[in-house]
């Protein structure tokens, strides 16, 4: 991701907007905004667009590589929030899916 949070911090500074004011506009907790701006977590794409509209800046281009980076970042954040058991199950499912994909439809059971 190309430092969307840095661009948000700069736009907030130019407008004299605090984390609390942005949080209130978004309907989230001030701590959540702080985590986003520090890079400890990432909001969803819709929220990033909403932040951009509040601040009058464009943070994501539709169908851009940056949009893909945000999705990847969201997936990584979700993965990190999972328990060890959930991660193991997910990885097992992905490996099984990949194995079935490479075998081809004629080789699969059922």
The answer to whether residue 110 is domain-embedded is no
The answer to whether residue 70 is domain-embedded is yes
The answer to whether residue 20 is domain-embedded is yes
| Residue that wins the pLDDT comparison between 99 and 52 | 52
Going from the C-alpha of 13 to that of each of 3, 7, 18, 72, the distances in angstroms are 16, 10, 8, 28
pLDDT for residue 43: 87
Rounded distance between C-alpha atoms, residue 107 and residue 10, angstroms = 55
The answer to whether residue 12 is domain-embedded is yes
| Residue that wins the pLDDT comparison between 6 and 78 | 6
pTM over 0.85: no
Going from the C-alpha of 89 to that of each of 73, 76, 83, 85, the distances in angstroms are 20, 16, 10, 6
The answer to whether residue 32 is domain-embedded is yes
| Residue that wins the pLDDT comparison between 18 and 94 | 18
What CATH number corresponds to the domain at position 4? 1.10.260.40
pLDDT above 70: residue 108: no
pLDDT above 50: residue 1: no
Rounded distance between C-alpha atoms, residue 60 and residue 2, angstroms = 10
The CA-CA-CA angle for residues 79, 85, 91, to 5°, reads 55
66: tokens are 């940056």
Note down the domain range covering 27.
Answer: 1-105
Domain count, the chain: 1
Q: What is the pLDDT of residues 33-91, one digit of tens each?
A: 999 999 888 888 788 889 988 999 888 654 444 555 556 767 777 777 888 888 888 88
Rounded distance between C-alpha atoms, residue 57 and residue 101, angstroms = 42
| Residue that wins the pLDDT comparison between 13 and 49 | 13
């Amino acid at each position: 991701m190309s430092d969307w949070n840095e661009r948000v911090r700069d736009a907030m500074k130019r407008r004299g907007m605090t984390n609390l004011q942005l949080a209130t506009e978004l309907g989230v907790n001030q701590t959540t905004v702080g985590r986003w701006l520090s890079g400890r977590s990432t909001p969803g794409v819709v929220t990033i667009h909403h932040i951009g509209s509040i601040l009058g800046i464009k943070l994501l281009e539709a169908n851009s590589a940056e949009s893909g980076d945000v999705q990847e970042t969201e997936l990584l954040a979700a993965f990190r929030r999972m328990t060890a058991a959930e991660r193991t199950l997910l990885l097992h499912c992905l490996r099984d899916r990949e194995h079935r994909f490479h075998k081809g439809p004629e080789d699969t059971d059922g």
